[in-house]
Amino acid sequence: METKAKRNFALEYDLSWRKYDFIVNLYQLGRDSLHRRKALEFGGLKKGDTVMDICCGSGLSMAAIQSVIGPEGKIIAVDANEHMLALAEARARKMGWKNVEFVLSPIEDLEIKEKIDFAFFALCWYDKELNTGWVRKIEQFMDRDTGRICFFDYKLPGNWLRPIIMPLLWLEIKWLGEAYTVEDLKWEPRDVIGGILRDPNYTAYFFDCLVVVAGKPV
Ligand SMILES: C[S@@+](CC[C@H](N)C(=O)[O-])C[C@H]1O[C@@H](n2cnc3c(N)ncnc32)[C@H](O)[C@@H]1O
């Protein structure tokens, strides 16, 4: 059976990149950027940090990151899909951000020279094997004691909303042609993601539909 670690998920956005931002914002009722900022603050992002925006996609995290790091910080935005990365580049141009470097590369093959302070994985949890590989790769570019790794992703709420959210999530996943199913979201992010980080912290918000797990490199 094909494992997720062997699949090329970046290619799947060749069909959905045009509608990506709209769908993500629709699901979060237009509060996507606010939710990301909350995640970054929970994760311990600081002014002046160099941030790697892992699988940056269309750059939806960049405004939130910039609002914390300021012009003295830097973003290294990495994605393997050329359409998604082009959207991120266009966003940076429009906003006049000069402190962003774009890298078109699979995370697996990434080579950079500088150290990063903060690695942000937003909406790119695929499975434990694949994401653990990505974390171990990124850790090479981080200081073990001061580096921070932060995941921001969807979860199924544990409350009355669960049966209502499931068809909405199913629709979003279908619409985006995402590689996972609603069944895959029946997970315990606190344990699963927390298990691959050192000293993990966890929080959930937006009606228990969004999760942040942040910690240090192992
Ligand atoms: C759901 S989108 C998330 C984009 C962005 N982080 C956000 O929060 O909106 C997933 C992104 O992961 C990228 N991706 C998937 N596999 C990748 C890989 N192996 N290396 C780099 N990027 C990858 C896709 O191209 C896509 O842009």
Question: How far away, in angstroms, is 125 Cα from ligand 1 center?
Answer: 9
Nearest residue to 111 via CA among 78, 83, 81, 85: 78
Candidate from 79, 109, 111 with most ligand 1 atoms within 8 A of CB, to mutate: 79
Q: Which domains does the chain have, with CATH numbers?
A: 4-216 (3.40.50.150)
Mutate to test the pocket of ligand 1, among 9, 82, 107 (most ligand atoms within 8 A of CB): 9
Distance 59 CA to ligand 1 centre (A): 10
The model carries a pTM of: 0.95
Query: pLDDT digits over 124-146, tens only?
Result: 998 899 999 999 999 999 999 99
Residue 15 pLDDT: 86
Specify which residues 76 forms β-bridges with: 52, 101
According to the model, what pLDDT value does residue 60 have? 98
- Supply the mean pLDDT for the chain: 93
Q: Distance of alpha carbon 44 from its chain centroid, rounded?
A: 15
CA distances from residue 153 to 34, 88, 94, 104, 111 in whole angstroms, order as listed = 14, 19, 26, 22, 25
User: How much of the chain exceeds pLDDT 90, in percent?
Assistant: 78
Position 78, amino acid: V
Q: pLDDT tens digits for 52-63?
A: 999 999 999 999
- 41: pLDDT confidence band, cut at 50, 70 and 90? very high
Q: Is residue 189 scored above 70 in pLDDT? A: yes
pLDDT (mean) for 10-34:
92
Look at residue 11 in the predicted model and tell me its pLDDT: 86
- The Cα–Cα gap between 29 and 26 comes to 5
Q: Residues lining ligand 1, CB < 6 A?
A: 9-10, 13, 24, 55-57, 60-61, 79-81, 84, 106-108, 122-124
- The pLDDT assigned to 181 comes to 79
Would you say 204 and 210 are in contact if contact means Cβ atoms under 8 Å apart?
Answer: yes
Please compute, for residue 64, the number of CA atoms within 13 A of its CA located in the half-sphere on the CB side: 22
